[in-house]
Amino acid sequence: MSINDDVSPGAPWDPRYQAAGPERLWPDEPTIRWLDLEAWHAAGVRTVLDAGCGDGKNLAALVRSGFHTIGADLSETALAQCAMFLRTLHFDGRYEFLPAGPLEHIGMPAGAVDAAICIDVLGHLPKPRPVLEEVARLIGAGGFLYASVFHPDDGSRLGPRMRSGNTSTEGWYLPSSPDAAHTEYYFCYYSQADAEQLFSLAGFEMVSLEPRTWFEPPHTGYRDEPHVHVSWFCLLRRR
Starting from the edge strand earliest in sequence, which strands make up the sheet with 68-72, in order? 95-97, 68-72, 47-51, 115-118, 144-150, 227-238, 204-216
User: CA 236 → CA 115, 116, 162, 221, 225, distances in Å?
Assistant: 10, 10, 31, 34, 33
Confidence (pTM): 0.94
Contact 8, 73 (CB under 8 A): no
Whole-number Å distance between alpha carbons of 198 and 130? 11
pLDDT tens-digit profile of 46-70? 999 999 999 999 999 999 999 999 9
pLDDT at residue 65, rounded to an integer: 95
Q: Which is nearest to 38 in space by CA: 69, 67, 71?
A: 67
Collect the ranges in the chain with pLDDT lower than 50: 1-10
How far apart are alpha carbons 113 and 94 in whole angstroms? Answer: 14
> What pLDDT shows up at residue 10?
44
Output Rg (C-alpha) for the chain, integer angstroms. Answer: 17
CA–CA separation, 193 and 195 (whole Å): 5
**Closest alpha carbon to 188 in 123, 120, 119, 118:** 123
Structural contact between residues 149 and 60, judged by C-beta atoms closer than 8 angstroms: no
pLDDT at residue number 11: 53
Q: Residue 88: what are its φ and ψ, rounded to 5°?
A: -65, -25
Is 224 exposed, middle or buried, given 0-12, 13-18 or 19+ CB atoms closer than 10 A? middle
pLDDT at site 7: 36
Check: CB of residue 38 under 8 Å from CB of residue 162.
Answer: no
